[in-house]
Amino acid sequence: MSKRALVTGGCGFIGRQVTEELLENGYSVTVLDSLVEQVHGETAPPQDERVDYHFGDVRDPERVKAALKGVDVVLHLAAEVGVGQSMYEIARYVGVNDLGTGVLLECLIDNPVERIVVASSMSVYGEGLYQTADGTRFDRARRRKDKLRPGHWDPFDADGRPLTPIATDEEKPVELASIYALTKYAQERAVLIFGEAYPVEAVALRLFNVFGPGQALSNPYTGVLANFASRLANNQRPLIFEDGRQKRDFVHVRDVARAFRLALESKDAVGQVINVGSGNAYTIRQVAEILADAMGMPEVEPEILDKMRSGDIRHCFADISKAHDLLGFEPQHRLEDTVAEFAEWVRETGAVDKAAQMRKQLEERGLVS
């Protein structure tokens, strides 16, 4: 008899892929989603007849209890996403991410499951891991807006010496630079603490920058590739804060979905925090150029703003050794190999460009400098 999994946020970009991954591997699936308009638009996403859907807010105990009936395992993805917006819609982010997780966990006390896997975020690291000029590990880098000026965006050590970014592992201390990061860390810790107190196995996956077909192209606070694609699809230059040399790790949504399934099935994953990324570092400008080329617009140069957003970090890319060792996880969809598929999906889907609106909202609140 197959296990039944509840996927909270299961109608979202990652949630849909996780649902498909589970169905393809013999699970029955229940989905709970509130269908937030900013993510889904005014039209509800198509439904899969194989899935038991529950539509409602994760903060509503009655909705959550109804969705938990007959469930064996939970994958908790329901959350507000985006660093920039979290810096001014604070109550919204704290409410959905932290209170929502609290409601879910309380409901699990009387409706126990075998395992819960929560979607955490690389944002909890703040700045990624660095090393000094002599090769010493440096894991407490943090930038201060009042110490930065255009052209000098990289962090330094306590003596003002430059640092070199290296792959970030799970041993790096948390350094919370945004409200979003704060809420994701609270989700992660709440789930793991719950797993220690109750007979429910708990796992936290720290996701890096997820991309792929199905992203919300009209939500300016979603992923970098979706933002750039929306600009290019509307014949606009991608907007890049700072100088575009900041480095990130981009992991395909299908790889992420597989990681969630593996986290359900691996005995070694219990109680662990695990990075899920590609293990590769790309500069933001490089990503904009790769995407423009894939969309047949290689002549379109990104607009470099030389301004910093509050909550942004400089460099962070994943060390995925732990995912390999505990989950048997190996990324299969590199950015360079799948960006053409993404570009084709963007052309077929269309996009409303709201990047200028996002920039205005942040600037009006003094969150860009």
Q: Is 369 contained in some domain? A: no
Q: Is 338 contained in some domain? A: yes
> What pLDDT score does 215 carry?
84
Q: Is 241 contained in some domain? A: yes
Count of C-beta atoms within a 10 Å radius of residue 361: 18
Q: Is 12 contained in some domain? A: yes
Q: How does pLDDT run along the chain (369 residues), one tens digit per residue?
A: 689 999 999 999 999 999 999 999 999 999 999 987 666 555 667 788 999 999 999 999 999 999 999 999 999 999 998 888 898 899 999 999 999 999 999 999 999 999 999 999 999 999 999 999 999 999 998 887 766 666 688 998 888 888 999 999 999 999 998 999 999 999 999 999 999 999 999 999 999 999 999 887 766 666 788 888 888 988 889 999 999 999 999 999 999 999 999 999 999 999 999 999 999 999 999 999 999 999 999 899 999 998 888 778 899 999 999 999 999 999 999 999 999 999 998 888 876 666 667 667 766 776 675
Q: Is 125 contained in some domain? A: yes
- Tracing tokens 């080329």 back to the chain, one arrives at 293
> What pLDDT score does 201 carry?
98
Set 93, 130, 180, 221: catalytic member: 180
DSSP secondary structure string for all residues of 280-319? --EEHHHHHHHHHHHTT-TT---EE----BTT--S-B-B-
180 annotated active-site? yes
> What pLDDT score does 205 carry?
98
* Bridge partners for 303 per DSSP: 239
> What pLDDT score does 42 carry?
54
d(CA 306, CA 153): 9
Q: Is 186 contained in some domain? A: yes
> What pLDDT score does 83 carry?
83
Q: Tell me which residue range forms the domain holding 261.
A: 4-364
CATH of the domain at 171: 3.40.50.720
Number of independent structural domains in the chain = 1
- pTM of this structure: 0.92
Token pair of 366 as six digits: 């003094």
> What pLDDT score does 32 carry?
98
Q: Is 88 contained in some domain? A: yes
Nearest to 1 by CA among 72, 69, 75: 72
Q: Is 284 contained in some domain? A: yes
